[in-house]
Amino acid sequence: MRREFLPLSKKIISAFVCLGLLLTLLPAAVAQARPITIEFDGRTVPSEVPPVIVGTGAGARTMVPLRVIFETLGADVSWEAATQTVTGRKAGNVISLVIGNRSATVNGSPRTLDQPAQILEGRTLVPFRFVGEALGARVEWDGAQRIVRIASTDASRRRSPLERELRLTTGGATFPNPLYQRLVHEYARITSPAIRIDYASVGSGAGIRGILGGTFDFAGTDAPLTAEQQAGVRPNEILHVPAVMGAVAVVYNIPGAATGLRLSPDVLADIFLGVITNWNDARITALNPGVRLPDQRITVVRRSDSSGTTFIFTDYLSKISEPWRTRVGRGTTVSWPSAGNIGARGNEGVAAQVSHLPGAVGYVELSNAILNRLNTVALRNRAGNFVGPTVEATTAAAAAADVGPLDHPTNSPGTAAYPIVGLTWILVHRDQADASEARVVVDFLRWAIVERNLEPFAADLFYAPLPQEVLNRVREQIRTINHNNTPVWR
Amino acid sequence: MPDTKWRLVKSFVPEAVCRLAALLVISVLFLILYYIFQRGAGVISPAFLTALPTPVGVPGGGIGNALLGSLVMVALGALLAVPCGVAAAVYLDQNPKSRLAAACRFASRVLTGVPSLIVGLFVFTLLVLRTGQYSALAGGIALAVMMMPVITLSAEEMLRLVPNSWREASLALGASKKQTVLRLVLPAAAAGIAVGVMLAVALAAGQTAPVLLTALTSIFWPENLLQPTASLPVLIYTYAISPFADWQQQAWGAALVLVVMVLMLNIAAQLFIAVKNRRG
């Protein structure tokens, strides 16, 4: 009677075990000659191309990719193409190297190199020891293990707001998550290892509940607190610190792959209102001379879940279309008026629907449009120019925006502005309860936003940095953060 | 003789249909395995299994902390749920007709049907909001709540399969009730109970919502049970919905690891039972 507990034959069991074993053995991708690896404070630094040894005998020098060493040491690097000069700056140290030239300068005084900076297989390589030491780090070459070691001297850890251990738990908006992950990762590298910040991508709504409920030390959100949510807290006690901006792209799928579609605000609104229902409508063709538009029904694809992207998109439509403002309005969810519209979950859901459904039109956050290779619409902005969604056009929108600090800078009057752009905010308590936490929160925000340390990563992830005017406001905002009425940032 | 032929057809067709259905069930598992393997095997390496996650654009990211976090929370859940569930099942088996037993059975059935999100919200409200702290402990408790009814119900079924004549024989030989339960009924049902436990563990290992709401996630190694802790399902969820190819790749890799982990557990349980049966 116990036989019933043996549903799988031994053969199948052993097949599964083999599968499991195979899986664990799979990574045994053998490296023949071991490449040189770089270690920074005991951690291996990933490098797309391994360091190489150039020259022979006493003149032999280890050369490392320029980007890797400068990023590892947290230095700012600039490149002047005309003179072939690389300049690195860090904590008051300035070094400059010329490609193919043995003379270099450190803080203005000339030095001679054994091996010059050079370009190998399309990568710029710089002498490792020279750069490391000039920027205030200790360097070591382990010939037996083929490891290049860099140890940060005190100067290379740029800051440590606190000596003891501290963990911040934060979270919220999904939209800026890839950027925030990069920021907390980089911040962990330059600050004391005892300070740890986690950001969880749980959505704006959960972020707001988190900071109001005390489970998050700060929160990310794409929508400001509603009057209802504000009612529970003292006025101005929760600051909305603008962090970064993003564009919402209007994406479409027209069979015959018409690219470069142009739309005016009123036509866009009428498409989403369900007034214009076919791609060969006279009002669309009038805006697109020379583009062959097929006789194809338009299907609106919109978000089915509550979304900051929907809020920004409907905020724009409400500004440019009176019928939209009165009939639909703006919100994280709205009731969509067009007949036969399709709901999809998340940016990824809308992107998938639009790419598979002929005749579809939808809206997604910019990175989803570009990485999924969707066609995007160039929209006529307030200045009358047709502008497509790009990082530059997004910053241009905020620079010229004429809106309040808690509004998305949609429908900006700037000539180069893309009209559907949104801010994402970090919500933080103005009156901090814990002195140590306050110091870390302020230091992080200051480092990331005010000192513009997010900028090197923003464009690669399709975010637009804040324009200077907004940054000035952010600085003042962060200065109001206090503990027992003492400002934290002094 | 057309009659015989017709009978043969009548017997063959339903059998073929049932056989096909059985094959379908197996092929679904293999298709899922094949698909995940194809998409995810490329990123699996010792470094991937042991490294901390990295943001988009920084190569070398792994799932080490999520793997450890998942193991810790599932183990914690099992540690809480198994003794409790089995003890409850023993009570149900010993007092099958009492009112408490009926209520317990009813509650367990309702609990197995409660969406995991609700379980997560329950523990979130009870623990996380009160203490203001997401933690692996809260995650383990949420998983224990998910596992307990599954273990209780399946263990009761297994205990009930132990024939009454055995129990009577044991009692007739002078064994006490305690001895009968501990030395006869439980060992006889052990293999079946283990299957139920494995089922519950597999169920818990794949949960996203209860873990996200209670343990949140983290990019650091878990150091104690009172910190936000990463887990595989949450990592897969976050990575899979991002538009970036390297995170999506890692999501497939993490999914493969999760599936293989669950599969290994099931295989281990089957082997354990096979060995036990051969001895017994």
CB-based contact A23 B59, cutoff 8 Å:
no
Mean of per-residue pLDDT scores for chain A = 85
Partners of B60 on chain A (C-beta within 8 Å) are 44, 46
pLDDT at position A73 is 78
Mean of per-residue pLDDT scores for chain B = 93
pLDDT at position A26 is 46
End-to-end alpha carbon distance in chain B = 51
Which of A367, A401, A422 represents a domain boundary (last residue)? A422
Q: Specify if A31 maps to a domain.
A: no
Based on the fold, state whether residues A122 and A257 are members of the same structural domain: no
* Residue A452, pLDDT above cutoff 80: yes
* Residue A5, pLDDT above cutoff 90: no
Query: What is the number of CB-based contacts under 8 A between chain A and chain B?
Result: 118
Residues B105-143 have pLDDT tens digits of 999 999 999 999 999 999 999 999 999 899 999 999 999
**Nearest C-alpha of chain B: how many angstroms from A46?**
6
Instruction: Characterise A392 by phi-psi region: left (phi > 0), alpha (psi -120 to 50), beta (else).
Output: alpha
Q: Which of A338, A342, A348, A361 is nearest to A252 (CA)?
A: A361
**Nearest C-alpha of chain B: how many angstroms from A169?**
8
CB-based contact B270 A6, cutoff 8 Å:
yes
End-to-end alpha carbon distance in chain A = 78
Reported as a pLDDT band with limits 50, 70 and 90, residue A153 is low
A237 close contact with B: CB closer than 8 A: no
Partners of B280 on chain A (C-beta within 8 Å) are 2
Partners of A10 on chain B (C-beta within 8 Å) are 274
pTM: 0.77
ipTM, interface predicted TM-score of the complex:
0.87
Tell me which of A136-140, A262-266, A376-380 is least confident: A136-140
Partners of A188 on chain B (C-beta within 8 Å) are 219
CB-based contact A215 B128, cutoff 8 Å:
yes
CB-based contact A185 B218, cutoff 8 Å:
no
Q: Is the CB of residue A334 less than 8 Å from the CB of residue A317?
A: no
Which of A125, A157, A189 represents a domain boundary (last residue)? A157
Based on the fold, state whether residues A131 and A189 are members of the same structural domain: no
Based on the fold, state whether residues A417 and A429 are members of the same structural domain: no
Q: Specify if A8 maps to a domain.
A: no
CB-based contact B55 A26, cutoff 8 Å:
no
Domain ranges of chain B: 46-279
Provide the β-strand partners of residue A104. A97, A111
**Nearest C-alpha of chain A: how many angstroms from B117?**
14
Residue-number span of the structural domain to which A141 is assigned: 37-157
Residue A223 to residue A407: CA distance in whole angstroms: 9
Q: Specify if A20 maps to a domain.
A: no
* Residue A38, pLDDT above cutoff 90: no
Partners of B27 on chain A (C-beta within 8 Å) are none
What's the CATH code of the domain at A112? 3.30.457.10
Based on the fold, state whether residues A392 and A298 are members of the same structural domain: yes
Reported as a pLDDT band with limits 50, 70 and 90, residue A155 is very low
Q: Specify if A338 maps to a domain.
A: yes
Which of A422, A447, A476 represents a domain boundary (last residue)? A422
Q: What is the mean pLDDT of residues B186-198?
A: 90
Based on the fold, state whether residues A237 and A250 are members of the same structural domain: no
Structure tokens at A224: 């400001």
* Residue A154, pLDDT above cutoff 60: no
What's the CATH code of the domain at A274? 3.40.190.10
Residues A371-410 have pLDDT tens digits of 999 999 999 999 999 999 999 999 889 888 877 778 899 9
Q: Specify if A326 maps to a domain.
A: yes
CATH among 2.40.10.10, 1.10.260.40, 1.10.3720.10, 3.40.50.2300 for B46-279: 1.10.3720.10
- Out of B56, B212, B271, closest to residue A202 by CB: B212
Give the residue with greater pLDDT, A447 vs A43.
A447
Residue A267: CB partners within 8 Å, gap ≥ 6?
Answer: A276, A283, A284, A287
Partners of A176 on chain B (C-beta within 8 Å) are none
Based on the fold, state whether residues A185 and A316 are members of the same structural domain: no
Residues B224-272 have pLDDT tens digits of 999 999 999 999 999 998 999 989 999 999 999 999 998 888 888 888 7
Q: What is the mean pLDDT of residues A209-220?
A: 93
Calculate what percentage of chain B has a pLDDT beyond 90.
Answer: 82
Q: How many structural domains comprise chain A? A: 3
CB-based contact B44 A23, cutoff 8 Å:
yes
CB-based contact A26 B41, cutoff 8 Å:
yes
Based on the fold, state whether residues A190 and A146 are members of the same structural domain: no
Strands A375-376 and A238-252, bridge-based pairing: antiparallel
* Residue A1, pLDDT above cutoff 60: no
Reported as a pLDDT band with limits 50, 70 and 90, residue B72 is very high
Partners of A181 on chain B (C-beta within 8 Å) are 55-56, 219
Taking a contact as any Cβ pair under 8 Å apart, which residues of chain A between 442 and 471 contact chain B?
457, 460-461
Residues A328-345 have pLDDT tens digits of 999 888 999 998 999 999
A121 close contact with B: CB closer than 8 A: no
CB-based contact B243 A44, cutoff 8 Å:
no
Q: Is the CB of residue A150 less than 8 Å from the CB of residue A39?
A: yes
* Residue A115, pLDDT above cutoff 90: no
- Out of B54, B243, B273, closest to residue A5 by CB: B273
Based on the fold, state whether residues A339 and A440 are members of the same structural domain: no
Reported as a pLDDT band with limits 50, 70 and 90, residue A27 is very low
Q: Is the CB of residue A395 less than 8 Å from the CB of residue A362?
A: no
* Residue A203, pLDDT above cutoff 70: yes
Q: Which of B276, B67, B89 is nearest to B196 (CA)?
A: B89
Taking a contact as any Cβ pair under 8 Å apart, which residues of chain A between 129 and 188 contact chain B?
167, 169, 171, 174, 177-178, 181-182, 184-185, 188
Based on the fold, state whether residues A345 and A400 are members of the same structural domain: yes
Q: Which of A185, A194, A190, A200 is nearest to A167 (CA)?
A: A194
Based on the fold, state whether residues A461 and A374 are members of the same structural domain: no
CB-based contact A198 B216, cutoff 8 Å:
yes
Partners of B133 on chain A (C-beta within 8 Å) are 169, 215
Reported as a pLDDT band with limits 50, 70 and 90, residue A13 is low
Kindly list the distances between the CA atom of residue A397 and the CA atoms of A417, A480, B126, B247, in Å, as whole numbers in the listed order.
Answer: 4, 27, 45, 30
Based on the fold, state whether residues A284 and A390 are members of the same structural domain: yes
Taking a contact as any Cβ pair under 8 Å apart, which residues of chain B between 87 and 146 contact chain A?
128-129, 132-134
Reported as a pLDDT band with limits 50, 70 and 90, residue A32 is very low
Q: What is the mean pLDDT of residues B5-13?
A: 89
Q: Which of A299, A317, A270 is nearest to A420 (CA)?
A: A317
Give the residue from chain B lying closest to A43, CA to CA: B51
A372 close contact with B: CB closer than 8 A: yes
Based on the fold, state whether residues A372 and A438 are members of the same structural domain: no
Q: Specify if A456 maps to a domain.
A: yes
